[in-house]
Chain A
Amino acid sequence: MRSPLAVFFIVLFLAVNVLFMLAPTAMLAIQAVFDDDGAFTLEYFQALAQYQYASSFENSLILSLLSATVGVIAGGLIAFAVLKDDAPRWLRSVVTSFSAVAANFAGVPLAFSFIATLGTLGLLTKLLKTWGIDIYAAGFSLYSIGGLTLVYSYFQIPLMVIIFFPALEALRPSWREAAENLGASTWQYWRLVGLPVLAPSLLAAWILLFGSAFSAYGTAYALTSGNIALVTTEISAVLSGNVVSEPQIGAALSVGMIVVMVLVLLASNLLSARAARWSVKS
């Protein structure tokens, strides 16, 4: 028998979910299939096939895939280096503190700090130019998908570091010792034991980073002023009426985002279940 307090908090949690997740989602879905006169229509979903909206999904997906992958690899390696036996103990607290700040340093301030550093007239851009290295002439642009990936990495990597520390700490040193004792090389240990054990955590972290990038708005808008179409900036554009006010298109785009995230979560769950089949309690 559950205690009344537990029941109260479960009901509270469900109520919050209904009010702030299910209800808005339902409202978006309804808004996306009814026109101004209240008649049912699929034209707003069909409009998503138009180039500007389709490319916004493509750009958002590429940006999220790239920045999540860069974040998982770079953040994972940093977390591993910090937790190594021979790493100084103070390094962990320094990296944790920095990561906690950096993971939350997104939006307009982050965009401007990158413009000031790596923009066409940025400090580092000019400094490199004085050394004969013109990164913009070499094809780099802060205002491209590549540039956005770099900027997103600034908060994605620290986020990965923070969420990956516990998973790495759960790797028992005695597994490494047992593998070594049985004749395994470092590579064999990681291939056969370390990475398979970490796989569910890596997948979960990747999903979190993907979602974080997919839903980011402020940084991309401040950096590209809408020049690179992303789903979030397109939603803003059709809702604010900068071009034309089409709230139903905004709703259809939002439903599209939800569908993408649900699909990614389903794929991730399938992979996680496979990767973690050894930890499922019988």
Chain B
Amino acid sequence: MATVDIKGVRKSYSGREVLSAIDLAMGDGELICLLGPSGCGKTTLLRIVAGFIQPDAGQVLVAGDDVTKLPTARRRMGMVFQSYSLFPNMTALDNVCFGPRVAGQKRDVQLARARQLLDMVGLSSHEAKFPHQLSGGQQQRVALARALAVQPQVLLLDEPLSALDAKVRVQLREEIRRIQRETGVTTMLVTHDQEEALSISDRVAVMNGGRLLQVATPAAIYREPADGFVARFIGSGAVFAGQAQGDHVRVADFTLPAHAAAAHPRGEPVEMFIRPEKVQLTPRNGHIPTGALAGEVRETIFLGSLTRVRIAVHGATDLHLWADLASEHAEDFKPGAPVVAQWDASAPRVMKA
């Protein structure tokens, strides 16, 4: 267990910058998810921490020690790969023994440690199986046990769940979190799945275009996205481009209530973001309250207990809102139904465009 400090890390390939001055501090025993779309640089950053890639500039410090130039084999980091990468010629037990074995530990010590870890990941009865005899989820559990066998200072997980089906993915992410808490190992997990990131992280680091846009707790990221990209990428909702006007935002021909706009100079270009659960929807019966938007239901998406409704705003063809309704109340809001959408003025987040 150790802290990890990433300081001013930069990386370019053929003149194209893939990481620009990344600073990230991880606390002892913390689980941070690097979250972002494909090509945002999250895997490059993970591989720099692992030592597979040398940064052009910057430092990686583990427990205060600069490991930037240290070979991968000497960093004491456990890594779990997207494609499992178990050694095909070894049983599950031998895979887990591999790290202690190359470190020269006695066979009985290796076996005791490996069996303890296989037990922790629930695979004691599968120790004699070769990787091709295990399911994807089981292979990834073995990979996790193998990574932990070296008693790593830092655990690195490179999209560990993306090759698994949805049900196994949910089970295994809960298991990863449980094991991470039990072992207390500082963990960096790369994913492009926001649900995965929000559900297991202590903090989420959102990346795009080689930059770190926001590092915060899942709740803070969800409630207070730092900019339009984070708002669009995390969860769902509507983002409107407009200008601040006191405690309103002027969007096209509409003046929309948003207390947060007061923090911006009048006329400043801003983006107003509102989550679907904050939008209240009522059938339109003539009167449209001040600050509300009249529109028409365009589509409904059944999500179980909730139904998500997309509304096209009258008078502005490119303005769309999302609203979440309890599914039992969604019957009145079929596509084509005229509606009125409104929200509490404290609900929208307003960010500089």
Contact = CB atoms under 8 A, between A and B. Distances in A.
B78 A181 contact: yes
A188 interface: yes
Interface residues of B, number: 32
A270 interface: no
Interface string B263-282: 00000000000000000000
A98 interface: no
A192 B88 CA distance: 11
Given A183-B103, A196-B89, A279 B132 contact: yes
Interface in B90-122: 90-91, 98-99, 101-103
A243 interface: no
A179 B88 contact: no
B130 A278 contact: yes
B254 interface: no
Interface string B303-328: 00000000000000000000000000
A183 B99 contact: yes
B286 to A, nearest CB: 64
Contacts of B78: 181-182
A179 B98 contact: yes
Contacts of B87: 175, 178-179, 192-193, 197
B73 A192 contact: no
B11 interface: no
A182 B146 CA distance: 8
Interface in A175-193: 175, 177-185, 188, 192-193
Interface residues of A, number: 21
A193 B146 CA distance: 15
B183 interface: no
B17 to A, nearest CB: 22
A181 B73 contact: yes
A46 interface: no
A2 interface: no
B249 interface: no
Given A184-B102, A192-B98, A177 B90 contact: no
B133 to A, nearest CB: 5
Interface string B51-87: 0100000000000000000011111111101010111
Contacts of B146: 178, 182
Contacts of B185: none
A178 B130 contact: no
Interface in B113-168: 130, 132-133, 146-147, 149-150
Interface in A155-213: 172, 174-175, 177-185, 188, 192-193, 196-197
A148 B79 CA distance: 50
A217 B86 CA distance: 46
A183 B104 CA distance: 10
A200 to B, nearest CB: 10
A184 B98 contact: yes
A174 to B, nearest CB: 4
A113 B150 CA distance: 57
Contacts of A278: 88-91, 130, 132
Interface of B: 50, 52, 71-79, 81, 83, 85-91, 98-99, 101-103, 130, 132-133, 146-147, 149-150
26 contacts: A172-B83, A172-B85, A175-B87, A177-B50, A177-B79, A178-B86, A178-B146, A179-B102, A180-B52, A181-B75, A181-B79, A182-B78, A182-B98, A182-B99, A182-B149, A183-B74, A183-B76, A184-B73, A184-B102, A185-B102, A193-B89, A193-B90, A197-B87, A278-B91, A278-B132, A279-B132
Given A181-B72, A181-B78, 10 more contacts: A175-B85, A175-B87, A179-B102, A180-B52, A182-B78, A192-B87, A197-B89, A279-B88, A281-B132, A282-B133
Interface of A: 172, 174-175, 177-185, 188, 192-193, 196-197, 278-279, 281-282
